[in-house]
């Protein structure tokens, strides 16, 4: 979870540095919502690894369906109701798909988000997590190690591995749904159509709080066929030398064998992330988001993909 949250911060930081100059070719990503406007989304999270040109898909996939509905609109902002409609968590076990009965949050979880007048998320007004009534402990074998993993169900708490503590803070709740808050990132920004932005910044590494240089390239593309759509392509590349040194420093704490860091095929890392976002303009609804993180070391590349697609809007 820490890695995901860190990576999501990159486009947010970069976008806030984008050009604010207006012209006839500029576009403001601002919400124009009415009370009752609603959109339903499907979220998918899966991964793969590539070893010497052979693609091996992750044995685990998580899907989630949720809705966002405008319940209040004023001159200073909007209130949006979030509702987790359903989820499916599958893992491959001995070439068979096993469905797990746990997720980050239980089905029926609701929350109310408050945004500013541009539709940018400001805070969580309230949230409600229903009692978990499934109350089942699940035991399955890890496909790689064949070790048994127990998913513990704790009555009265959201179903999670080993029964995490109840969520008591706004930050804790938002950490469970970074894919939802991502939908609000682009509101309140001004872009030039068919333009490119090149920016430099620093982000914390995936292993600790050490800052690593990142180069951001943002392309804004006006859809020629669908005039009400705007595409934002955000590519971020982390500094390879800094990334590897941070990786080496972190894992040296856990192993005495440091020869692995001297292996010519493993003594570097390349990491990048790609965001491809389609927005309906000027309504402000996020139509789709494709988020890929890719890290290569030697002959092995690990890829994680998170997709959000609107199913319908009313």
Rounded (5°) CA angle 257-260-263: 145
What is the rounded average pLDDT for all residues in the chain? 80
Residue 75, domain member (yes or no): no
Residue 76, domain member (yes or no): no
Number of domains comprising the chain: 1
| Comparison of pLDDT for 120 and 89, the residue scoring more | 120
Q: Which pLDDT does position 96 carry in this prediction?
A: 58
pLDDT beyond 90 at 216: yes
Residue 172, domain member (yes or no): no
Residue 113, domain member (yes or no): no
Q: Which residue segment(s) compose the domain that 200 sits in?
A: 1-29+186-314
Residue 145, domain member (yes or no): no
Residue 177, domain member (yes or no): no
Residue 106 contacts residue 132 (beta carbons within 8 Å): yes
Q: 172-184 pLDDT, tens per residue?
A: 898 889 899 999 9
pTM over 0.85: no
Q: 155-201 pLDDT, tens per residue?
A: 444 444 433 456 778 988 988 898 999 999 999 888 888 899 898 98
- The band of 17, judged by pLDDT with boundaries at 50, 70 and 90, is very low
């Amino acid at each position: 979870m820490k890695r995901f949250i860190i990576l999501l911060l990159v486009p947010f930081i970069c976008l806030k540095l984008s050009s604010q100059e207006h012209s006839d070719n500029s576009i403001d990503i601002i919400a124009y919502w009415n009370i009752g406007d609603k959109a339903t989304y499907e979220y998918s999270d899966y991964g793969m690894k590539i070893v010497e040109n052979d693609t091996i898909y992750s044995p685990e996939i998580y899907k989630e369906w949720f809705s966002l509905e405008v319940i209040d609109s004023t001159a200073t902002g909007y209130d949006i109701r979030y509702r987790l409609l359903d989820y499916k968590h599958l893992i491959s076990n001995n070439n068979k798909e096993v469905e797990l009965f746990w997720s980050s949050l239980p089905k029926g979880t609701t929350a109310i988000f408050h945004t500013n007048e541009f539709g940018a998320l400001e805070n969580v007004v309230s949230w409600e997590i229903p009692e978990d009534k499934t109350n089942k402990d699940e035991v399955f074998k890890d496909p790689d190690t064949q070790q048994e993993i127990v998913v513990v169900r704790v009555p009265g708490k959201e179903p999670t591995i080993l029964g995490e503590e109840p969520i008591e803070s706004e930050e804790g709740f938002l950490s469970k749904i970074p894919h939802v808050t991502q939908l609000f990132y682009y509101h309140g920004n001004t872009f030039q159509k068919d333009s490119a932005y090149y920016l430099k910044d620093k982000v914390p590494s995936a292993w600790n709080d050490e800052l690593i240089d990142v180069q951001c390239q943002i392309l804004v593309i006006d859809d020629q066929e669908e005039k009400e759509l705007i595409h934002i392509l955000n590519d971020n590349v982390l500094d390879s030398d800094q990334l590897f040194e941070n990786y080496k420093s972190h894992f040296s704490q856990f192993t005495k064998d440091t020869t692995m860091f001297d292996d010519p095929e493993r003594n570097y890392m390349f990491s990048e992330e790609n965001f491809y976002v389609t927005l309906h303009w000027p309504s402000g609804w996020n139509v789709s988001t494709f988020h890929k993180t890719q890290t290569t070391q030697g002959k092995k590349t690990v890829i994680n993909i998170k997709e959000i697609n609107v199913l319908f809007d009313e």
